[in-house]
Amino acid sequence: MSNNVANEIKQDLTNFSPENFSKGDSLWNKAWYKFKRDAMGKTGATIVFIYLIIAIGVWFSFWGGTWSDTSDDLWVGPSLQHWFGTNVIGQDVLTRVIYSTKVAFEVGFIVAVLSTVLGAVLGALSGYYSGTWIDSLILWMMGVLDSIPFYLFVAAVAFALKGNAFAMHIAMISTFWTGTSRVIRGEVIKLKSQEFVEAARSIGVTENKIIFKHIMPNTSHILLVQSTIAFVAAIKSEVILSFLGLGVKDGVSWGLMISESTQDLLAGHFNNFASSSIFLFILVIAFNMFSDAMQDALDPKKVS
């Protein structure tokens, strides 16, 4: 027993020995090392990767292309032909669920990338110029966007864009950036008084270059974590918005499937509701696990 413990400690010590961090001992090296030891994080990442492959497969029409085909088997239960059964007009639930994966990834990816970029740029500007009118303006904008009820904002954008298919994406991007922006602003305020920034300024580097070339790369680990949070939020919002009739209009998504499944539930057919919910739940929980592990790995100060 004690021998075991001793061995473990020895193992740990060799693991943490300098040669493991030989490549400059950077934040990313250490994070990757920490992440590799996080079983939950690895499981999450694997599941997300499987979903990604499903989504890419739909993209290249390897599968899921027949999501709108109807058949004569109405409301049948799971069988070999229809793994998850069929819905009220005989569409195969599995195909629809698989096709919806692509829709979810599209929404999540577009919203996560663009809202993170927007939040990074505006947050860095407001942090670097903290105390000036630029900062006040950006802070005011964040306060305003945070105070409009989300569903109403989405509805307003949908009104203004006259039912454009990307109204939901635009509404999400224009509200999700505020969270990232607040975090980045705090970090930039901390970074801008450090020596490397002072050094850059003293040799005459322009302010734009200081903000975007010297300071911003030092916030990349925060941006990575924030983008995974935005991804999850976007997928979850899509479901509720599509249910309310404010989200995906053409095609099919998990939200639309849940929406149509409320009719099935009244008649006692659960396969439509259960499959779309479970697909959504597993992706979201895997992403949350992945995101948590990344936060643990990338934030040296975090106490958990």
Partner 1 sequence: MDILKFALRKLLGGIPLIIGVTFISFLLMVYYGPDLTWEKLGKNPTAQDIQEIRHELGYDQSFSKRYALYLKQLVTFDFGNSQVIDKKVSTILKETMPVSLHLIIPGFILGNVIAIALALFAAYHRGSWLDKLIMTGSVIGMSISFLIVIIAFQVFFCSSFGLDMFPVRGWEVYDASGAIIWSQYINYVTVPTLATVFVALGYNTRFYRAVLVEEMTKDHVRTAKAFGHTPTSLLFKSVLKNAMVPITTRVMFSIPLVVVSGSLLIESYFGIPGVGKVTYDAIIAGDQNILKAIVGLTAILFVLVLLLTDILYRVFDPRVELK
> Minimum distance between the CB of residue 95 and partner 1, rounded to whole angstroms?
21
**Among positions 35, 109, 153, 212, the unique one binding partner 1 when judged by CB under 8 A:** 153
- Burial group, residue 300, by CB count within 10 angstroms (0-12, 13-18, 19+): exposed
If phi over 0 gives left and psi between -120 and 50 gives alpha, with beta otherwise, what is residue 75?
left
Smallest gap, in angstroms, from Cβ of residue 136 to partner 1? 9
Binds partner 1 (CB under 8 A): choice among 97, 258, 294, 297: 258
Does the protein bind partner 1 through residue 111 (CB under 8 A)? no
- Assess 168 for contact with partner 1 (CB under 8 A): no
- Which residue among 110, 141, 189, 224 contacts partner 1 (CB under 8 A)? 141
State in angstroms the smallest separation of the CB of 240 from partner 1.
Answer: 5
Positions 216 through 245 that interact with partner 1 (CB under 8 A): 236, 239-240, 243-245
Residue of the chain from 149, 193, 195, 203 that contacts partner 1 (CB under 8 A): 149
Assess 39 for contact with partner 1 (CB under 8 A).
Answer: no
Where does this chain touch partner 1 (CB under 8 A) — which range of 20-28, 64-72, 222-230, 269-277?
269-277
Q: Which residues lie near partner 1 (CB under 8 A)?
A: 140-141, 143-145, 147-153, 155-157, 159-160, 236, 239-240, 243-246, 255, 258, 262, 265, 268, 270, 273, 277, 280-281, 284-285, 288-289, 292, 303-304
